[in-house]
């Protein structure tokens, strides 16, 4: 793919490694959620590819919802002030809810979202994320299903963007020259 001058892409996890990680996650999720008609909630935009690959490996009835968060107050660094741009459109009270996220970085977005969803009184509420970047954590987040522990580097691809570019890369790449 063409990159901006000064930047270079280096594959961190190939599409094959991503597929294997999602297969492992799907097996574990199926063991826990089969027969419970869970609601999977994808966090836009980053999780859209992960969500679509994950749900196609789950061969039992489930529902899907999407939420959209935005942080404000700073353009490059998560400010901690999160708001909900788009919420769930169905009731999740009494249901088994699994939040599906691409990456947990500072943890501020997920702390906000899990607190918000908890107030809607789901029967259970858990989190599945493809990538966990614990080195950047500012708020503790319990991750029930995690694909990769990733280094503190600027990652793009497989849903992750830099200035809205690169989400369509099939591999997860380090964008060298950015931090």
Interface with ligand PRP (CB under 6 A), residue from 29, 40, 106, 122 = 106
The kind and range of the H/E element at 110 are helix 108-118
Q: Which stretch binds ligand PRP (CB under 6 A): 20-28, 87-95, 97-105, 147-155?
A: 97-105
110-to-116, 143, 175 alpha-carbon distances in Å: 10, 10, 24
Query: Does 107 sit near ligand PRP (CB under 6 A)?
Result: yes
Nearer CB in complex with ligand PRP: 78/87: 78
Angle between helix axes 48-55 and 15-33 (nearest 10 degrees) is 60
Query: Does 78 sit near ligand PRP (CB under 6 A)?
Result: yes
Question: Do the beta carbons of residue 82 and residue 40 sit within 8 Å?
Answer: no
Task: Give the integer Cα–Cα distance in Å for 81 and 7.
Answer: 30
Nearer CB in complex with ligand PRP: 103/169: 103
Whether 161 is catalytic is no
Binding mask 37-56 for ligand PRP (x = CB under 6 A): ------xxxx----------
Query: Does 169 sit near ligand PRP (CB under 6 A)?
Result: no
**Number of C-alpha atoms within 13 angstroms, CB side, residue 152?**
5
Chain contacts with ligand PRP (rule: CB under 6 A) = 43-46, 71, 78, 101-110, 161
Catalytic residue list: 105
């Amino acid at each position: 793919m063409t990159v901006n001058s000064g930047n270079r892409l280096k594959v961190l996890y190939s599409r094959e490694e991503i597929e294997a990680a999602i297969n492992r996650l799907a097996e574990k999720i199926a063991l826990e959620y089969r027969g419970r008609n869970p609601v999977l909630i994808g966090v836009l935009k980053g999780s859209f590819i992960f969500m679509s690959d994950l749900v196609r490996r789950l061969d039992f009835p489930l529902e899907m919802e999407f939420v959209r968060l935005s942080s404000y107050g700073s353009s490059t660094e998560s400010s901690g002030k999160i708001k909900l741009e788009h919420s769930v459109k169905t009731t999740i009270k009494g249901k088994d809810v699994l939040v599906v996220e691409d990456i947990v970085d500072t943890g501020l977005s997920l702390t906000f979202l899990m607190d918000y969803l908890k107030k809607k009184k789901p029967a259970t509420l858990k989190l599945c994320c493809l990538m966990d970047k614990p080195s950047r954590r500012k708020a503790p987040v319990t991750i029930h299903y995690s694909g990769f522990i990733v280094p503190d580097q600027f990652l793009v691809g497989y849903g992750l963007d830099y200035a809205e570019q690169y989400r369509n890369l099939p591999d997860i790449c380090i964008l060298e020259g950015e931090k």
